[in-house]
Amino acid sequence: MSDLLQMGLTGINLGLMYGLIAIGLTLIFGVMRIIQYAHGEMFMLGAFVLYYWTAEFGLPYWPGVAVSAIIIFGLGALLQVTLFRPLQGKNILYSLAVSLGLVLIISGSGQLIFGTITKGIPSAVTGGVLIGGAYLSYERIVISSVSIALIVGLWAFLRLSVTGLAIRAVAEDPDTAALQGIQTKRIHWIAFGLGSALAAIAGCMMGSLLSIVPTMGFLATIKAFMIVIMGGLGSVIGALVGGLILGMIDSVVTTTISGDIALILSFVVIFLILVFRPAGLFGQNWE
């Protein structure tokens, strides 16, 4: 019984963390229709900003997360304006190529600048609680809460705020949105920055839970893409559901059968979802 509970708790936890990595990507994709392959690199840089903030300069944790998010917001906006804006409206392969180039540059320079030794960010909270025989650390509770808060926050932001409405309008149809007086260029860099900042916060959370190296971005990108594709590009709810599905597969199948099978199974599930629902679970159908 406690084993089952542990499995479920770990799965939900993992799913929420995966969802956190993926929402930024789904936002960027939904608005700009570009493949941001360097999303994981933003995740990595966010974690390293926090690392230098806390471990090197000894400053407190939560302001560090905010600083990291702001810096990466700026970086994301800058990248959008300089590299991705000229490609807007062109073939999707070009944005894929540019972001692939960014992956190589950022992770290579990261190794050069940060060094290749694995680092760890001291956790914000320690300790944990036993629930019905299953252990739940406070750190994981905090991360799950942050994840839920950000997912709900992003959802509300897109539904309720004026900028959010503009973002959705641009996502729906950029030309019509421009006709209504929305500055699509501005919306683009805001959305890109916001998506990157969300990745940075995910990096801070996962970085303190696990360890950080300059090459870790690729793994985050893989997970984020798996989830976003499953849930449907551009859908915040889809990212949450996709994350939970993946988290549950990872937890339950790894614990009961093996890690190999869990990974193969998650790819098979993605493939089947795409075959039967070509736009993902909650995605918009689009050419």
Partner 1 sequence: MKGSSKTLLLSRRHLLKSGAFALAAPAILPRSAFAQQAKTIRIGGAVPLSGPVAYWGHSTAQGFIDGAAVINAAGGVMIGGEPHMIEVINYDTKGEVADSRAATMRLVEQDKCKYVFSQAAASTVGMLQVTEPAGVLSIVACWGYLDLFGTKYPLHFRAEMSDYEQGFAYIPFMQEKFGKDALKTAAFIGPNDQDGTDCHFSYKRLMDYYGITQKAAEFYNWEDTDFYPIVAKTIADKPDFIVTSPSPPGITASIIKAARELGYGGPISSPAASETKTILEVAGEHADGVVLPVTNVEPSTDTQKAIEKRFLDRFGSFNALAGNYSWWIYSLKAAWEKAGTAEDTKAVAEALAQVELDDTYVGKVKWGGEKSFGVARQGIYDCYTTTIDKGVAKVEDIRFPALPEDY
Partner 2 sequence: MTEIDLPHRIAWGALLLVALLAPIIVGFDPYLTHVGIIIAFNVALATTLWMIWSLGVISFAHAGFMGVGAYASALVLHKLGLSMWFGLWIGAMVCGALALFISLPLMRTRAVYFFMASWAVGEVIKRNFAYFKDFFGGWDGIFDIKPPVLDLMFVQIDFANRTAYYYLALLFVSLTVWVVYRINSSRTGMIYWAIHENELLAAHTGINVFRHKVICFTIACTLVGITGALYAHYQTYISPKSFDIWKSEFALVHLIVGGLTTVGGPVAGAISLTIVDEVLRASGYFRTIFFGVVLIASVLLLPGGLETIPRRIRAIFQRDSHK
Footprint of partner 2 on this chain (CB under 8 A)? 35, 83, 86-87, 91-94, 96-98, 100-105, 107-109, 111-112, 225-226, 229, 233, 260-261, 263-264, 267-268, 270-271, 274-275, 278-280, 286-287
Using only C-alpha atoms, what is the Rg of the chain? Answer: 19
The site partner of 162 among partner 2, partner 1, none (C-beta below 5 to 8 Å per kind) is: none
What residues contact 77, with CB distance under 8 A and at least 6 apart? 189, 190, 192, 193, 196
In the bound state with partner 2, the residue whose beta carbon lies nearer, of 104 and 131, is 104
Q: Which positions lie near partner 1, rule CB under 8 A?
A: 3, 6-7, 10, 13-14, 17, 55-56, 108, 111-113, 115-123, 126, 128, 135, 137, 206, 209-213, 215, 218-220, 222-223, 250-252, 254-255, 258-260, 262-263
Indicate the SS3 state at residue 162: helix
The CB-of-59 to partner 2 minimum distance in angstroms stands at: 29
Which ranges of the chain would DSSP assign to H, the alpha helix?
2-32, 39-51, 61-79, 92-114, 138-160, 162-172, 174-179, 184-209, 217-231, 236-248, 254-256, 259-276
Q: Look up residue 132 and give its two tokens.
A: 């019905």
199 or 226: whose CB is closer to partner 2? 226
- Minimum Å gap between C-beta 190 and partner 1 is 29
Residue with smaller CB distance to partner 1, 19 or 234: 19
Q: Give the N- to C-terminal CA distance of the chain in Å, as an integer.
A: 47
